[in-house]
């Protein structure tokens, strides 16, 4: 187990500590300790991903643990601030009914996205996280951390203040925190909807991919990861899988007539001004093997270049492509 995976695992191991100190009313400043440990656990979410990408240590085990750890962490925090009573005070999340609605939406989104990724994985498709999801997660972490600190304020600081002052401060903080939780919920809805729309092709049946060789998929996934994390090694591996896909084509003359998938792939490349198999997975909902094979086919047709450093290039302009191929049919 590499260092990023150990950091991810530590996030799961910190959960019992968070739960214990948050619920242990008999421990002075227990909720402050729980808040600090929760923040540390949130930071590990960013640290493990950074180290994995920087040192090219992305693994299937890491992907699995990271997804599970993130969801369990945020679910634990949300349940604690909603369900755990605070002795001698009003509920931490107020109004409670609105907080419950927000939490249900957030948890539902996480379950739906997990189901989508499971369906995609069964088809050999890798769904990468997007920036919207990362922003959403950050706001959720901030919201839960502030609510947990607010629980510490209510139980340990509030009794020490003048009652009128304490009530005013508590009311203001409660209102601000509810606004933040609502903002996190709105971001959750938006990121979830955009993720489903962008990857809607996962739900379509692809008869050509029902019986893909999974050993070949694993090989191509490794090569695609190297495309984004390595320089010198990348070139050799990308050329390798291109040669593999081209050998299946037989390099015959009939391949000069583009399929609709090849045309769609070129449109994606023109739109993004970028040529990668990962892009086809994200935009077209294809499996890793299928998207890599299409890139190889386009390379054999002279439409995209071989890997140069970390990149491929378009070898034809969009206008020239439309004139040469789109008018044939």
Running along the chain, 329 residues long, what does each successive block of 10 average in pLDDT? 89 95 89 96 91 82 81 93 70 85 92 84 69 86 94 85 81 91 93 86 59 40 44 38 41 60 89 87 78 86 81 86 70
Token digits for 316? 């034809």
Give me the CATH code for the 3-204 domain, please.
1.20.120.1760
Task: Please enumerate in sequence order all residues whose Cβ is within 8 A of that of 298, keeping only pairs 6 or more positions apart, or say none.
Answer: 262, 265, 266, 304
Does residue 209 contact residue 287 with C-beta atoms inside 8 Å?
Answer: yes
Tokens representing 57? 């240590």
Domain extents for the chain?
A: 3-204, 209-326
Phi-psi region of 250 (alpha: psi -120 to 50; beta: other; left: phi over 0): left
% helix / strand / coil in the chain, to the nearest 5?
A: 75, 0, 25
- Cα distances (Å, whole numbers) of residue 295 to 121, 128, 164, 279: 21, 19, 68, 10
What is the pLDDT at residue 86?
66
State the Cα–Cα distance between residues 329 and 324, nearest whole angstrom. 10
Instruction: Report the pLDDT value the prediction gives residue 216, as an integer from 0 to 100.
Output: 40
Q: How far is CA 300 from the centre of its chain?
A: 33
pLDDT at 205: 58
Query: Do 185 and 105 meet the contact criterion of CB atoms below 8 Å apart?
Result: yes
């Amino acid at each position: 187990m590499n260092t990023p995976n150990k950091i991810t695992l530590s996030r799961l191991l910190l959960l019992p500590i968070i739960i214990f100190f948050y619920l242990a009313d008999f421990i002075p400043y227990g909720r402050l300790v729980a808040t600090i440990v929760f923040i540390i656990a949130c930071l590990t979410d960013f640290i493990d991903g950074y180290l994995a990408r920087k040192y090219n240590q992305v693994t299937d085990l890491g992907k699995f643990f990271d997804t599970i750890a993130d969801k369990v962490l945020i679910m634990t925090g949300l349940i604690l601030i909603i369900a755990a009573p605070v002795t001698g005070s009003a509920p931490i999340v107020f109004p409670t009914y609105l907080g419950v609605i927000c939490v249900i939406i957030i948890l539902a989104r996480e379950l739906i996205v997990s189901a989508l990724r499971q369906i995609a994985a069964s088809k050999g498709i890798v769904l990468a996280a997007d920036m919207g999801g990362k922003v959403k997660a950050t706001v959720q972490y901030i919201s839960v951390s502030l609510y947990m600190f607010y629980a510490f304020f209510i139980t340990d600081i509030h009794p020490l203040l003048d009652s009128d002052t304490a009530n005013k401060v508590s009311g203001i903080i409660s209102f601000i925190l509810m606004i933040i939780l609502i903002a996190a919920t709105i971001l959750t809805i938006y990121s979830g909807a955009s993720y489903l729309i962008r990857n809607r092709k996962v739900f379509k049946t692809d008869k050509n991919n029902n019986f893909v060789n999974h050993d070949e998929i694993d090989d191509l996934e490794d090569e695609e990861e190297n495309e984004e994390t390595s320089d010198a090694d990348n070139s050799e591996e990308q050329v390798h899988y291109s040669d593999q896909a081209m050998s299946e084509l037989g390099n015959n003359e009939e391949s000069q007539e583009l399929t609709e998938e090849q045309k769609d792939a070129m449109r994606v490349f023109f739109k993004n001004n970028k040529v990668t198999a990962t892009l086809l997975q994200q935009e077209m909902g294809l499996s890793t093997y299928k998207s890599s094979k299409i890139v190889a086919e386009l390379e054999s047709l002279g439409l995209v270049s071989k890997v140069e450093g970390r990149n491929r290039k378009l070898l034809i302009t969009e206008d020239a492509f439309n004139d040469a191929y789109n008018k044939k049919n």
